[in-house]
Amino acid sequence: MKKTEKANAGFLVKVFIKNHDNINDGNVREKCGSLSSYVGIATNFILFVTKIIVGTLAGSVAIAGDAFNNLSDAGSSIISLFSFKMSTKPADKNHPFGHARIEYISSSLVAVVILFIGFELLKSSIEKILNPIAITFSAIMVIVLVVSIILKLWLYYFNKRLGAYIDSILMEATAADSLSDVLATSAVLLSIIISYFTGVNLDG
């Protein structure tokens, strides 16, 4: 089925990308990828700074860990940015078929980063469970996590839609990562709420 502008091009694409409907143009594809990357870098870095401050003040390893997860997502967006800029380069002597394959390589790198961060978070959680410390509950903790969930849901929708629009496996992977972040942050939020009402420390 042929993609239509109305069904697939989002507001940001229409605002920032000239001739965005010409998705067969490599330059348009690169700009779409760059837009996704810049949005991801900015959003995740803001979430990282906010969560690391709140998590440190509250003594919550779960929130701090979630913050570093956002930092890794910002790093993944930088990889994506590089990938989209490289993939549109024309064929040369060493790459007679062009550079499009780099997008697949980058999606694999993003997956490796996600696995590494997941392992580090698991290790930190185990250490915190073995050596628990009390956390300081506050409304700001809940607000930050709820806002984070909303932003990540939006990032999922944004990248999923844009990925389908330009047929990008890397953007689809980024969308899936955002959705997994929603689940992870929701788990952190739930554990904090349960800990507050039951007195059982589930932070970790």
Quick one: CA torsion of 165, 168, 174, 179, rounded to 10 degrees?
50
How confident is the model at residue 5, as a pLDDT?
44
Residues 53 and 186 sit within 8 Å (Cβ to Cβ): no
Number of domains the chain contains = 1
Q: Which residues contact 136 (CB under 8 A, 6 or more apart)?
A: 57, 58, 59
Residue 139 lies in a domain: yes
CATH number of the domain within which 129 lies: 1.20.1510.10
For the entire predicted model, the pTM comes to: 0.76
Report how far apart the first and last C-alpha atoms of the chain are (Å, whole number): 46
Residue 2 lies in a domain: no
How confident is the model at residue 144, as a pLDDT?
94
From the first residue on, what is the mean pLDDT of each consecutive set of 10 residues in the chain (204 residues)? 49 80 77 91 96 88 85 86 71 47 62 68 64 72 94 95 86 87 88 80 61
How confident is the model at residue 172, as a pLDDT?
85
Residue 8 lies in a domain: no
**Tokens 């997956």, residue located:** 111
Q: Which residues contact 190 (CB under 8 A, 6 or more apart)?
A: none
Residues 19 and 96 sit within 8 Å (Cβ to Cβ): no
Residue 13 lies in a domain: no
Alpha carbons within 13 angstroms on the beta-carbon side of residue 97 total 3
Which parts of 93-168 fold into alpha helices (H)? 102-130, 139-166
Provide the domain limits for residue 161. 23-198
Residues 29 and 44 sit within 8 Å (Cβ to Cβ): no
Task: Indicate the residue type of 76.
Answer: S
Alpha carbons within 13 angstroms on the beta-carbon side of residue 199 total 0
**Tokens 């996600």, residue located:** 114
